[in-house]
Amino acid sequence: SQKIEQNSEALNIQEGKTATLTCNYTNYSPAYLQWYRQDPGRGPVFLLLIRENEKEKRKERLKVTFDTTLKQSLFHITASQPADSATYLCALDGDGNNRLAFGKGNQVVVIP
Amino acid sequence: EAQVTQNPRYLITVTGKKLTVTCSQNMNHEYMSWYRQDPGLGLRQIYYSMNVEVTDKGDVPEGYKVSRKEKRNFPLILESPSPNQTSLYFCASSSGQTYNEQFFGPGTRLTVL
């Protein structure tokens, strides 16, 4: 069956350190993968997209990698700040029809 | 300001009383979608629409209806709500082109007693 797996345990990290989140998928062949940020009770907000032929993408303090052989994406927040505390969702192209399939999200808590 | 709006934001209702949650976007997007989000289950797609008068089932369509008569609006209808439809609902839209991000509304928290 198809699965998108993100760590269910919250990541607690000291301010200034790099937070790294993992998204693993099974039985998908996505053309791209996206990462969203979600604050409690609010809608997800798009952060980054990476295509299958790209290995790495950066935006300010965020970096995403995509390894189609390992079927994995890594999401990094460098120099983390308390304001980065949120849940981060990975989403991928589920069927090539612009339909996104979402992981359950991974909470990040940045400790001052 | 480019946005997706949903109404109401909060709703408490009783089993069997028909309700509609409205969704509207001002970005001229072709693609619109409804999701529900439940603890431990993540975001699951209910219905989606690739364009006006074109709708299709997502992963959890049972108990829901949608319509897309205008490009900007995509209401979600619960004809006979049941307690297992208590959830946080999100509407989203995108341009419909490959690789494009989805814009989410603020959410509607529905409680069915």
DSSP state of B71: S
Residues B100, B101, B107, B112: is their CA dihedral positive or negative? positive
Least confident piece of the model among A48-62, A65-79, B88-102: B88-102
Burial class (CB in 10 A: 0-12, 13-18, 19+), A2: exposed
Interface check A44 vs B, CB under 8 A: yes
Interface check A92 vs B, CB under 8 A: no
* B12: confidence class by pLDDT, cuts 50, 70, 90: very high
Which residue in chain A has the smallest CA separation from B91? Answer: A43
Q: What pLDDT does A31 receive?
A: 86
CA neighbor of B44 nearest in space, from B5, B97, B84: B84
Interface check B11 vs A, CB under 8 A: no
For B68, phi and psi rounded to 5 degrees?
-140, 80
Which chain A residues are within 8 Å of B45, Cβ to Cβ? Answer: 99-100
In whole angstroms, what is the distance from residue B50 CA to residue B29 CA?
A: 9
Interface check B43 vs A, CB under 8 A: yes
* B38: confidence class by pLDDT, cuts 50, 70, 90: very high
Q: Is the pLDDT of residue A96 over 70?
A: no
Q: What pLDDT does B100 receive?
A: 79
Report CB contact under 8 Å: B103, A49.
Answer: no
In terms of residues, how long is chain B?
A: 113
Two tokens, residue A107: 């909470």
Which residue in chain B has the smallest CA separation from A41? Answer: B107
Quickly count helices (H) and strands (E) in chain B: 0, 11
Interface check B42 vs A, CB under 8 A: yes
Q: What pLDDT does B8 receive?
A: 97
Report CB contact under 8 Å: A98, B31.
Answer: yes
Which chain A residues are within 8 Å of B88, Cβ to Cβ? Answer: 41
Q: Best mutation site among A7, A33, A88, A98 for testing chain B: the one with the most B CBs within 10 Å? A: A98
DSSP state of B73: B
Residue/partner pairs of B71-74 with CB below 8 Å, 24 or more apart: B71/B28, B71/B29, B71/B30, B72/B24, B72/B25, B72/B26, B72/B28, B73/B22, B73/B23, B73/B24, B74/B23, B74/B24, B74/B25, B74/B32, B74/B33, B74/B34, B74/B49
Stretch B39-61: mean pLDDT:
93
Alpha helices in chain B (DSSP H): none
Q: Is the pLDDT of residue B99 over 80?
A: no
Two tokens, residue A105: 């999200």
SS3 B83: helix
Angle at CA B15, nearest 5°, toward B9 and B17? 70
